[in-house]
């Protein structure tokens, strides 16, 4: 074995063993874990004035906020039934389809029946009737309307009391801890996973919790030299803003001496391009059912971006990554842009040759429709193992690729079923007005295309469908370290005060929702949220 091969083997072994460690506390570094401590309440009371005290954000969307609010409800006589109903409704969305009717019946008997002592009288009469009638069908959104009533009731009746309670004080303690930014030394780096335009992406482990992440480094000097600031801040802002299981999540943004760092969801399974071409080199491309699954997950990610007015612009197999279970997420949002409120379109040339939509190539204004063209190219490539406008390795000028995109219809081989061809044609329509796109704030038209006739979208969106392919946990789906390639040093760039101000702006620290998810998932929340005997006030909350 050569030195490069040996280096890769050693790095892979360390990385595979770190991510394979079992148990919630393994992989933790005790010294760093000890630094995660709740302060005395007197140190965090002031946070009340600076926090966004929106009910939905505090009690529903933030994981720790929600847990503490639910704990408050369970401990308060008048709200205990609503806590039970809330938890029942959440369970309902997770049970198997066949289990739903009996499961919902229990909930109905307990909370929807005026004779029950846990009856929730805030539920409106009409909604109660409808739920009772529809229960036998087992639709996923059976309780949707009731949930709205529940949340409205909790906001009006419970939220005020919660804010006066010790549970809310505990929430402030966690918000204080969350606001203590972590830095480079909190992360242990593992092997390189890939190479980006401005630096490497490494697997890393948060030392205090043991959670594995990917760390995308952007070299400061390289960014400055190649005018990458705008893209970097866009990527950071957009990643921090979106929360979807179909898009990589940003958990931390900080700086080191040489780099800006984005710490994100670790996607262990490699990218789609690797799977299309490199896993089985004699038989590239995917079976149709596998391509449909990935395409459906990508559609959910795009829908979320477009609902947030974000145009992605760089969809391609290489930017879609697999996790341990085989689910995919969109990554690399460095070319994404936001359409400002009140505006319908944007302009600018951004993307990858062979993928860009005709309207963009013509220099016209465009909207999210360009992302459905790139989706068409991606779906085509998953099936054909070549692009619709350019074969793999074909040496042609960008001008010729552009000409083909503008004028040539793609050639569909016998690998395409009629349904798949029809979907590609809908997505690859040269005129965006005729394309299958995001409309009326959803992708419903595309989702109901015949290619997806067997897709159970609500289960897919809840993460409940089994992926068609599960990556082998012992395999590292990335190039050998020596093939990733090194960077040359950047010369002749001097960093000034304005640059430093920009790095400060970028380094926003811990991102609230993912940080809280990590604390819950890794057991830290449970360990810190200690109450002592019933009725007593814990020392750290005693003012």
- Single out the catalytic residue among 2, 56, 185, 314: 314
239 binds ligand ADP (CB under 6 A): no
Stretch that binds Mg ion, among 158-166, 304-312, 332-340, 351-359 (CB under 5 A): 332-340
Q: Least Å distance between CB 223 and ligand ADP? A: 11
271 binds ligand ADP (CB under 6 A): yes
Q: Least Å distance between CB 384 and ligand ADP? A: 22
Stretch that binds ligand ADP, among 72-80, 251-259, 266-274, 445-453 (CB under 6 A): 266-274
476 binds ligand ADP (CB under 6 A): no
Which of Mg ion, ligand ADP, none binds 85 (CB below 5-8 Å, type-dependent)?
Answer: none
The correct pick among 196, 326, 468, 509 for binding ligand ADP (CB under 6 A) is 196
Which of ligand ADP, Mg ion, none binds 194 (CB below 5-8 Å, type-dependent)?
Answer: ligand ADP
Phi/psi zone of residue 385: left (φ > 0), alpha (ψ -120 to 50 degrees), beta? left
214 binds ligand ADP (CB under 6 A): yes
DSSP structure string for 401-412: HHHHHHHPPPPP
- 442 in helix, strand or coil? strand
Other residues' Cβ atoms within 10 Å of the Cβ of residue 28: 21
User: Cα(439)–Cα(541) distance, rounded to whole angstroms?
Assistant: 50
Residues 352/250, Cβ–Cβ less than 8 Å: no
Q: Least Å distance between CB 320 and Mg ion? A: 11
The correct pick among 216, 222, 313, 316 for binding ligand ADP (CB under 6 A) is 216
Nearer to ligand ADP, 83 or 232 (CB): 232
Stretch that binds ligand ADP, among 190-198, 371-379, 389-397, 416-424 (CB under 6 A): 190-198
Q: For this structure, is 540 an active site residue?
A: no
Residues 431-458, buried b or exposed e (16+ Cβ, 10 A)? ebeebbbbeeeebeebbebebbeebebe
DSSP structure string for 41-94: GGGTTTHHHHS---HIIIIIISHHHHHHHHHHHHHSGGGHHHHHHHHHHHHHTT
- Within residues 111-130, the interface with Mg ion by CB under 5 A covers none
Residues 496, 498, 500, CA angle at the centre, nearest 5°? 75
189 binds ligand ADP (CB under 6 A): no
248 binds ligand ADP (CB under 6 A): yes
Which of Mg ion, ligand ADP, none binds 172 (CB below 5-8 Å, type-dependent)?
Answer: none
| The pair of three-digit structure tokens given for residue 522, joined into one six-digit string | 């890794």
The correct pick among 178, 303, 332, 461 for binding Mg ion (CB under 5 A) is 332
Q: Torsions phi, psi of 187, nearest 5?
A: -120, 135
Which of ligand ADP, Mg ion, none binds 309 (CB below 5-8 Å, type-dependent)?
Answer: none
Enumerate the β-bridge partners of residue 502.
none
265 binds ligand ADP (CB under 6 A): yes
Query: Residue 137 burial by CB count (10 A; 0-12/13-18/19+): exposed, middle or buried?
Result: exposed
68 binds ligand ADP (CB under 6 A): no
361 binds ligand ADP (CB under 6 A): no
Query: Residue 160 burial by CB count (10 A; 0-12/13-18/19+): exposed, middle or buried?
Result: exposed
Query: Residue 270 burial by CB count (10 A; 0-12/13-18/19+): exposed, middle or buried?
Result: buried
263 binds ligand ADP (CB under 6 A): no
331 binds ligand ADP (CB under 6 A): yes
Nearer to Mg ion, 206 or 242 (CB): 242
Torsion 339-345-349-354 (CA) sign: positive
User: Cα(234)–Cα(494) distance, rounded to whole angstroms?
Assistant: 23
Which of ligand ADP, Mg ion, none binds 331 (CB below 5-8 Å, type-dependent)?
Answer: ligand ADP
Enumerate the β-bridge partners of residue 310.
338
Closest CA to 150 of 90, 86, 103, 105: 86
What is the size of the binding site for Mg ion (CB under 5 A)?
A: 2
The torsion defined by the Cα of 307, 310, 314 and 319, in degrees rounded to 10, comes to -60
Nearer to ligand ADP, 158 or 242 (CB): 242
271 binds Mg ion (CB under 5 A): no
334 binds ligand ADP (CB under 6 A): yes
Nearer to ligand ADP, 89 or 328 (CB): 328
Nearer to ligand ADP, 158 or 333 (CB): 333
End-to-end Cα separation, the chain, in angstroms: 65
Residues 398/354, Cβ–Cβ less than 8 Å: no
DSSP structure string for 330-379: E---TT-EEPPTT---B----S-TTT--HHHHTT--B-THHHHHHHHHHH
The site string for ligand ADP over 291-330 (x = CB under 6 A, - otherwise) reads ---------------------------xx-x---------
Nearer to Mg ion, 104 or 265 (CB): 265
User: Cα(384)–Cα(381) distance, rounded to whole angstroms?
Assistant: 5
Which of Mg ion, ligand ADP, none binds 361 (CB below 5-8 Å, type-dependent)?
Answer: none
The correct pick among 83, 242, 264, 401 for binding ligand ADP (CB under 6 A) is 264
The correct pick among 138, 334, 358, 471 for binding Mg ion (CB under 5 A) is 334
Q: Write out the residues near Mg ion by the rule CB under 5 A.
A: 332, 334
Residues that are catalytic: 314
Q: Write out the residues near ligand ADP by the rule CB under 6 A.
A: 193-198, 201, 214, 216, 248, 264-267, 271, 318-319, 321, 331-332, 334
């Amino acid at each position: 074995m050569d030195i490069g091969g040996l280096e890769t083997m050693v790095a892979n072994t360390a990385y595979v063993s770190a991510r394979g460690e079992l148990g919630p506390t393994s992989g933790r570094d005790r010294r760093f874990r000890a630094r995660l401590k709740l302060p005395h309440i007197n140190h965090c009371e002031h946070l009340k004035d600076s926090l966004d005290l929106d009910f939905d954000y505090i009690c529903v969307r933030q994981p720790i906020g929600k847990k503490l609010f639910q704990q408050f409800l369970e401990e308060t006589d008048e709200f205990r039934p609503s806590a039970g109903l809330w938890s029942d409704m959440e369970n309902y969305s997770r049970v198997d389809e066949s289990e739903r009717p009996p499961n919902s019946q229990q909930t109905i008997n307990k909370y929807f029946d005026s004779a029950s002592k846990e009856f929730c009288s805030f539920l409106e009469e009409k909604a109660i009737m409808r739920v009772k009638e529809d229960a036998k069908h087992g639709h996923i959104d059976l309780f949707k309307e009731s949930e709205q009533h529940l949340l409205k009731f909790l906001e009006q009746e419970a939220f005020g009391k919660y804010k006066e309670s010790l549970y809310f004080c505990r929430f402030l303690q966690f918000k204080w801890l969350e606001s203590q930014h972590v830095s480079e030394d909190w992360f242990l780096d593992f092997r390189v996973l890939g190479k980006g335009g401005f630096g490497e992406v490494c697997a890393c482990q948060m030392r205090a919790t043991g959670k594995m992440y990917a760390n995308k480094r952007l070299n400061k000097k390289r960014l400055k030299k190649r005018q990458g600031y705008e893209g970097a801040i866009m990527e950071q802002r957009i990643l921090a803003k979106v929360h979807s299981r179909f898009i990589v999540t940003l958990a931390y943004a900080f700086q080191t001496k040489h780099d800006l760092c984005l710490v994100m969801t670790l996607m262990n399974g490699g990218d789609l391009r690797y799977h299309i071409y490199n896993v089985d080199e004699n038989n590239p491309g995917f079976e149709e059912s596998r391509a449909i699954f990935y395409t459906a997950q990508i559609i959910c990610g795009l829908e979320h971006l477009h609902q947030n007015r974000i145009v992605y612009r760089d969809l391609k197999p290489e930017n879609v990554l697999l996790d341990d279970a085989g689910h995919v997420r969109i990554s690399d949002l460095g070319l994404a842009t936001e359409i400002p409120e009140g505006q319908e379109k944007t302009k600018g040339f951004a993307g990858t040759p062979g993928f860009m939509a005709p309207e963009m190539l013509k220099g016209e204004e465009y909207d999210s429709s360009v992302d459905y063209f790139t989706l068409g190219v991606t779906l085509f490539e998953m099936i054909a193992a070549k692009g619709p406008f350019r074969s793999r390795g074909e040496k042609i000028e960008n001008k010729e690729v552009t000409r083909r995109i503008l004028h040539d219809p793609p050639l569909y081989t016998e690998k395409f079923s009629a349904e798949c061809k029809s979907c590609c044609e809908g997505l690859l329509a040269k005129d965006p007005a005729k394309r299958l796109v995001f409309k009326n704030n959803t992708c419903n038209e595309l989702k109901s295309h015949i290619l997806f006739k067997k897709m159970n979208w609500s289960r897919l969106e809840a993460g409940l469908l089994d992926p068609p392919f599960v990556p082998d946990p012992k395999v590292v789906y990335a190039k050998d370290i020596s093939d990733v390639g090194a960077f040359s040093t950047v010369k002749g760039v001097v960093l000034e005060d304005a640059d430093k101000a920009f790095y400060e702006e970028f380094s926003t620290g811990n991102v609230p929702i993912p940080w809280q998810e990590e604390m819950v998932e890794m057991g830290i929340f449970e360990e810190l949220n200690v109450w002592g005997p019933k009725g007593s006030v814990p020392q750290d909350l005693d003012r």
